[in-house]
Amino acid sequence: MMLRRFIAIILLGCPFFVSAHNFVYGQSVPRVNITDRGELLFDDSDFSYKRWDSTELAGKVRVIQYIAGRTSAKKKNSMLITAVKDAEFPEDRFQPTTIVNTDDAIPGSGFFVRGKIEKNKRHYPWAQFIVDSDGLARKAWGLPEESSTIIVLDKNGHVQWAKDGSLSPEEVNHVINLLGQLIEQDK
């Protein structure tokens, strides 16, 4: 009898383990307005930041990577990032967006994390990089700490696919195919 109750409690808790976010497919991500740091801009050789609001995500097909400011989180979905680069999607209809939660970094490493973000912006100026110094999006979107979350948005900014944690090779292929389909629909 006790075992049955235990199993019932475990099974009731399973939905919380399956979905570690609060995204609703077909809708925009919950609104976030990042005023401390925000979007990293690169003009000639100068870096600057501007406020960023998640309502700005509409307009292009996107893959968003929301990651903790830790090397371990960055590595979780490096296979997808490589696949996105290799796909060479058209920049006029597609933009990768990386949001780094520097509030979820190893203490004292924030300066180094921002340096890595600036290096990536220099190498990929067409990509969008957001610094979330206070972890606002993690909180608003119900994401776990120390993790990497992938979100695919259509050009209207609506969620088409999302997963927290490492993607399998099959999931990477699915995301690349989905992005291709969404970009084709945008012609």
Domain ranges, ordered by start, for the chain: 22-185
Please write the tens of the pLDDT for every residue from 139-149. 999 999 888 99
Measured CA to CA, the distance from residue 122 to residue 120 in angstroms comes to 5
What is residue 31's three-state secondary structure? coil
pLDDT-derived band of residue 109, with 50, 70 and 90 as boundaries?
low
Termini Cα distance of the chain: 60
- The predicted pLDDT at position 14 comes to 41
pLDDT-derived band of residue 19, with 50, 70 and 90 as boundaries?
low
Question: Which comes out higher in pLDDT, residue 151 or 45?
Answer: 151
Pair 52, 145: CB distance under 8 Å: no
What angle is formed at CA 77 by the lines to CA 20 and CA 167, rounded to 5 degrees?
60
Mean pLDDT along residues 23-33: 97
Please write the tens of the pLDDT for every residue from 68-100. 887 767 788 999 999 999 999 999 999 999 999
pTM of the model: 0.85
Length of the chain, in residues: 187
What is residue 138's three-state secondary structure? helix
Pair 27, 156: CB distance under 8 Å: no
Please write the tens of the pLDDT for every residue from 113-152. 788 899 999 999 999 999 999 999 999 999 998 889 999 9
CATH tag, 22-185: 3.40.30.10
